[in-house]
Amino acid sequence: MQKKLHEAAKHAYGRAYAPYSKFKVGAAILADDGKVYAGGNVENAAYPNGVCAETSAISAMVLGGAKKIRAIAVVAGGPKLVTPCGGCRQRIAEFADPETPVHICGPEGLKTTFTIAELLPASFDKENLGRNLGRNRGAKAGLNPQRPRSRTAR
């Protein structure tokens, strides 16, 4: 399956739209439905409006009806490891278990594998949104009532 993921990410890498940075990235996800969903980065002349490959693949997965990432492969060129950016790590963590493998690849193949927990060890998740608010009436979502808050948080 890792080879299939790499091939799908490599194909997306080839189709990525990066006319400004010339830095193409492809990603492919093995989802809980057994299907592979791929995406490539898409740049825009207004730089902040671009989309990362991982985000593109997650969007394809969600639109395909899947809910969980079982594994993800990311393909980029160059000799250095190209891992997901911070925002993409957070997005991957939203749909993955902590031990979900993140395969870091070049066009030629696998370079190394991390878990999402290794890439994002203290992720912000639904637990931070105060799912247990019933225990602390009046507490604000995301705030720990046991810890003193700063003036700006009040």
Tell me, yes or no, whether 44 and 76 share the same domain. yes
Strands 69-76 and 25-31: antiparallel
Range of the domain at 73: 2-122
Tell me, yes or no, whether 30 and 59 share the same domain. yes
Instruction: Read off the DSSP letter of residue 147.
Output: S
Note the pLDDT of residue 11. 98
For residues 128 and 99, give the distance between their C-alpha atoms in angstroms, rounded to a whole number.
20
- Give the global pTM: 0.82
Residue 111 phi/psi, 5° resolution? -105, -45
| Greater model confidence, 90 or 151 | 90
Tell me, yes or no, whether 21 and 94 share the same domain. yes
Catalytic residue among 54, 94, 108, 127: 54
Tell me, yes or no, whether 41 and 28 share the same domain. yes
Note the pLDDT of residue 127. 86
Q: What average pLDDT does range 88-94 have in this prediction?
A: 97
Q: What is the CATH number of the domain that holds 70?
A: 3.40.140.10
Tokens 């490539």, located at residue:
40
The 10s digit of each residue's pLDDT in 134-146 is: 444 444 444 444 4
Tell me, yes or no, whether 78 and 138 share the same domain. no
Tell me, yes or no, whether 99 and 129 share the same domain. no
The 10s digit of each residue's pLDDT in 14-42 is: 999 999 999 999 999 999 999 999 999 99
Read off the pLDDT band of 2 (50, 70, 90): confident
Is residue 54 flagged as an active site residue?
yes
Tell me, yes or no, whether 78 and 6 share the same domain. yes
The 10s digit of each residue's pLDDT in 61-82 is: 999 999 999 999 999 999 999 9
User: Which 3 state secondary structure label does DSSP give 28?
Assistant: strand
Question: What is the enclosing helix (H) or strand (E) of 63?
Answer: helix 53-63
Tell me, yes or no, whether 20 and 40 share the same domain. yes
Handedness of CA 107, 109, 113, 115 (dihedral sign): positive
* Domain count within the chain: 2
Q: What average pLDDT does range 127-134 have in this prediction?
A: 69
Tell me, yes or no, whether 134 and 77 share the same domain. no
